[in-house]
Chains A and B, each alone.
Chain A
Amino acid sequence: MTSPLHLGTLPRHRRATVEAIDWARLATPEARRLRELGFDRGVAVEVLHRARLGGGPIACRVGRMTVALRRAVAVAIAVSLDPQSSALPEPAE
C-alpha cells in the first residue's frame, strides 16, 4: 500500500476490495442507495467503464451487479488492489 487508492482512481479491470467508505462525505440518500446497492467494506469491486475523460460517471462491478455512479461518490470509496489481480488479467474484450 503506497498512496490511498479509491474507486475514482482505480485502474480499469483491476480487481480490488473496498477498504472503507467515507460515509460522512456523502449525502444521506446517496449513502443509503450506496448501501442498498451492496457497497460495504470487504466487497469485491472492479471499474468497468469510465464515461468520458474528465468527470463523467463510472460503471463498476460490485458483487454480481454493475452500478453506475459519479466520481464525487467514487472518491469516497477507498479500495485496495487484490494481490492476485495482476497475475490474472481479464480476457480481452
Chain B
Amino acid sequence: MELPPLVAMVGNPNAGKSALFNALTGARQKVGNYPGVTVERHSGRIALDDGRPVELVDLPGAYSLDPSSPDERVTRDVVTGAQAGERLPDALVVVVDASNLDNHLRFALQLIALGLPVVVALNMVDLAERDGLVLDPAALERELGVPVVATVAVRRRGLDELRERLTRTVTGEKVRRLTTSDGSIEDDIVTLQRRARQISAAATVSETPVRRWNHALDAVALHPVFGPVLLVALLFVMFQAVFSWSEAPIGWIEGGIAWIDDGVRAVMPDSILRSAITDGVIAGVGAVIVFLPQILILFLFILVLEASGYMVRAAFLMDRMMAGVGLSGRAFIPLLSSFACAVPGIMATRTIDDEKDRLTTILIAPLMTCSARLPVYTIIIGAFIPARQVLPGVGLQGLVLLGLYLMGIAGAFVAALALRRTVTKGESSGFMMEMPKYQMPRLRDVGLGLWSRTEIFLKRAGTIIALTTVVLWLLLSFPRAPAGQSQVDHSVAGRIAGGIEVVVAPIGFNRDIALALIPAMAAREVAVAAIGTVYAVDDPEQGERTIVENLQRRWTLPTALAFLMWFVFAPQCISTIAVTRRETNGWRWPLFMVGYLFATAYVMAGITYWLAVAAGL
C-alpha cells in the first residue's frame, strides 16, 4: 500500500506548534519514538480538502538547522531526509509566532531555503494584536515567496485555510532533490537574522506600544524577594495537593478493588488458582493502582506550570542555587518532573545543551523522590511512626515524610557536587534560555498530557507489575511446604531470599525485605505488594490481618527506618535504568548510576540502622 504524503510541522520552541498540531489532528494522534534516540514522534492523520489523507508529524522545536540537542538533531535530520526511520517530508508547515517574527522568521528562511514545498502558519496572531502589533499576511507572503496563513491554534482560527493551502501545496509529486546541499545549510545566522528583521518590518502594518501584562507578571514572578517566595509557596501547594486531593479518589479505587476481590472470592472455589488471582494479581496490581490519583495530581501541576510558561521562570530563580553545585537552572525542570517519575524527568534533560550538565542531571534524577516511592513510604510510616502532633498542625508522620524528600534532594546536591568534580568534570555550563510569554494553559492540551500519563501508568500496572507479582506468588507458593512448616521458608523465593539476607542482614534487613527487594527492581511500588504477598502466602489463616499489622508484628523500628533510608537512595527501578541507557547510548552510565546509588543506599541504610539501635529505638 502506498503511504500517504508526509507533512512535517516545524518551528521555533514556543511558536505554538504543538497546539496547532493538536488542533489539526485532535485525538487521532500517535506517539512513537524515532529509532535509536528517545525523541518522541508525534504523528496524526488528517484529510485534505480533496479527501486525500496526509500524515502530519510534529517535529521538536528548534532555533536553527544547526542542532545543539538530540531533539534539534531529529528536526534537522527529518527535514533534510537524513533521519533513520522517517521519509523525507512532502511538505513543511513552518509555524512562526506572529509576535516574535524577528526571531522566528530566521529559522523559517533556513527551512524555506531547503526547497521543500512550504506553508507558513502565522500563529498566535491574537496575542500579537493584544501586544499592539498588526501584521499583513499578504505582505509576508510576498516577501517570503510561500503561502502564509494567519492562525490562532487555540481558537481553531485559520485551520480551514491552512488545510486548503496545504491541499494545493501537497501536489503528490515527489520532491526531487533538496536545493541546498548539507554543507551550505549552516548559512550565517547573523545574515539570515538581518534578512528576517527586514521582512518582519515589511510585514508589520502598525505597532502601538501597549503595557504588557506579561511584564507585570514577571515583575512579581522574577522579583528578587517575592519570586523565590512564590516558587516555594507553589511547590508547597503542589505537594500538599498530592496528598489532600487524592484522598477521596484513592478511597474509590480501594473500594473498587475490594469489590472485584470479593466478586472473585464469591464465584471461585478456594483453590491455588483463586489464590493466584486474589493474593497475586489483584493484591499486587491493586496496591499500585491506588497511587494513580497522586501521580496524576503531580503531573497536573507540572503540565500546568510548563504550559503557562512559569517553569522557565522557576529555572531562572533556581539558576543561582543550581550553579552552586555545578548545574544550571535548566536542570531544575527535569529534576522537578522526577518527583513524579524519573523516566520523563530523564527524558526532559534533552533540552540541556551541555553534555556534562545533562549527564549529571540524569545521574542525580533518581534521587528525587518519585511517586513510586510514596506507596512504600506511606505504608512504612503508617506502621511505625506514631501519628503524634509535634506542633499544632504539624504531625510527626508528615514531618518524617518531608524529611525523606529533603534527604533525597540533599543527596542529589551532594552527588552533583561530587560528580562535577570527578566523572563529569568540566567547565561550568552556561544558562541561556528564551522566556516564553505567559499563557493560559489549555484544558485540552493538559488533558491530553494527563491521559497519556494515565495510559502509560495503567499499562505498566497491567503488565510489568502484574507479571512480577504473579511470578513472585509462584516462587513463593512452590514447592508446597509439608504441613507444619513455613511455606515461605520452603519456597523457591524463600531460599533465594535466604541468600540475599546474608548480604543485607548487616544493615538490619530481614528475610521479608530481602524478598521484596528483588521484585522491587521491576518497579519500586511492587515492594509493598511483594511484602503483602509474602504475608498472604505465609499465614493464609491470618489473611484478615492487614499489611500494617503484619509489619508491626515482624519488623523492629530500626529495621523500618533503615528500609526507608534504603528507598531514598536505591536505584530500584528497571525503567529508569533502561531510559538512562537509551539517553546515554550505552551501559557505562546506567551501570555507574546503579553502582553509586546502591553503594550509597547500603551505607546510609546501615548507618540509620546502627544509629537507631544505638539510640535504643
Interface code B406-425, partner A: CB below 8 Å = 1, 0 otherwise?
00000000000000000000
* B99:A37 contact, CB within 8 angstroms: no
With a 10 A CB-CB cut-off, give which of B99, B103, B106 has the most chain A CB atoms.
Answer: B103
Interface code B293-311, partner A: CB below 8 Å = 1, 0 otherwise?
0000000000000000000
In angstroms, how far is the closest chain B Cβ from the Cβ of A73?
Answer: 6
Kindly identify, within residues 27 to 71 of chain B, every residue whose CB is under 8 Å from any CB belonging to chain A. Answer: 63-64, 66, 68
Task: List the A side residues contacting B218 at CB < 8 Å.
Answer: 48-49, 59, 66
Top 8 closest pairs, chain A to chain B, by CB:
A36-B63, A49-B222, A66-B435, A63-B102, A35-B189, A93-B219, A56-B320, A69-B432
* A68:B312 contact, CB within 8 angstroms: yes
Task: List the A side residues contacting B211 at CB < 8 Å.
Answer: 91
How far apart are the CA atoms of A40 and B102 in the complex, in Å? 12
Query: How many of chain B's residues have a CB under 8 angstroms from any CB in A?
Result: 42
List B residues at the A interface (Cβ < 8 Å). Answer: 63-64, 66, 68, 99-103, 106, 189-190, 193-194, 197, 211, 214-216, 218-219, 222-224, 227, 312, 315-317, 319-320, 323, 329, 353-354, 427, 430-435
Closest residue on chain B to residue A35 by CB atoms: B189
A–B Cβ pairs within 8 angstroms, 12 of them: A29-B68, A33-B432, A36-B106, A48-B222, A51-B227, A51-B316, A57-B319, A63-B102, A68-B432, A69-B431, A70-B323, A70-B432
Closest residue on chain A to residue B222 by CB atoms: A49
Task: List the A side residues contacting B66 at CB < 8 Å.
Answer: 32
Task: List the A side residues contacting B316 at CB < 8 Å.
Answer: 49, 51, 57, 59, 68
Closest residue on chain A to residue B309 by CB atoms: A66
Q: Does A14 make an interface contact (CB < 8 A)?
A: no
* B224:A50 contact, CB within 8 angstroms: yes
* B215:A63 contact, CB within 8 angstroms: no
Task: List the A side residues contacting B194 at CB < 8 Å.
Answer: 40
Interface code A40-54, partner B: CB below 8 Å = 1, 0 otherwise?
100000001111110
How far apart are the CA atoms of A54 and B17 in the complex, in Å? 37
Task: List the B side residues contacting A5 at CB < 8 Å.
Answer: none
Task: List the A side residues contacting B431 at CB < 8 Å.
Answer: 57, 68-70
In angstroms, how far is the closest chain A Cβ from the Cβ of B404?
Answer: 29
Closest residue on chain B to residue A50 by CB atoms: B224
How far apart are the CA atoms of A45 and B424 in the complex, in Å? 35
Task: List the B side residues contacting A91 at CB < 8 Å.
Answer: 211
In angstroms, how far is the closest chain B Cβ from the Cβ of A40?
Answer: 6
* B435:A59 contact, CB within 8 angstroms: yes
* A27:B432 contact, CB within 8 angstroms: no
Task: List the A side residues contacting B223 at CB < 8 Å.
Answer: 49
Task: List the B side residues contacting A51 at CB < 8 Å.
Answer: 222, 224, 227, 316-317, 319-320
Task: List the B side residues contacting A63 at CB < 8 Å.
Answer: 100, 102-103, 197
Closest residue on chain A to residue B316 by CB atoms: A68
* B432:A48 contact, CB within 8 angstroms: no
Task: List the B side residues contacting A68 at CB < 8 Å.
Answer: 312, 315-316, 319, 329, 431-435
How far apart are the CA atoms of A50 and B227 in the complex, in Å? 11
Q: Which of A34, A53, A56 is the one whose CB lies under 8 Å from B432?
A: A34
Task: List the A side residues contacting B427 at CB < 8 Å.
Answer: 27
* A59:B222 contact, CB within 8 angstroms: yes
How far apart are the CA atoms of A63 and B427 in the complex, in Å? 30
Closest residue on chain A to residue B227 by CB atoms: A51
Task: List the A side residues contacting B214 at CB < 8 Å.
Answer: 66
How far apart are the CA atoms of A27 and B68 in the complex, in Å? 13
Q: Which of B190, B320, B434 is the one whose CB lies under 8 Å from A65?
A: B434
Task: List the B side residues contacting A36 at CB < 8 Å.
Answer: 63-64, 106, 189
Q: Does A67 make an interface contact (CB < 8 A)?
A: yes
In angstroms, how far is the closest chain A Cβ from the Cβ of B36?
Answer: 23
* B353:A29 contact, CB within 8 angstroms: yes
* B103:A53 contact, CB within 8 angstroms: no
In angstroms, how far is the closest chain A Cβ from the Cβ of B205?
Answer: 16
Closest residue on chain B to residue A54 by CB atoms: B320
* A56:B319 contact, CB within 8 angstroms: yes
* B319:A64 contact, CB within 8 angstroms: no
* A64:B102 contact, CB within 8 angstroms: yes
Interface code A16-35, partner B: CB below 8 Å = 1, 0 otherwise?
00000000000101101111
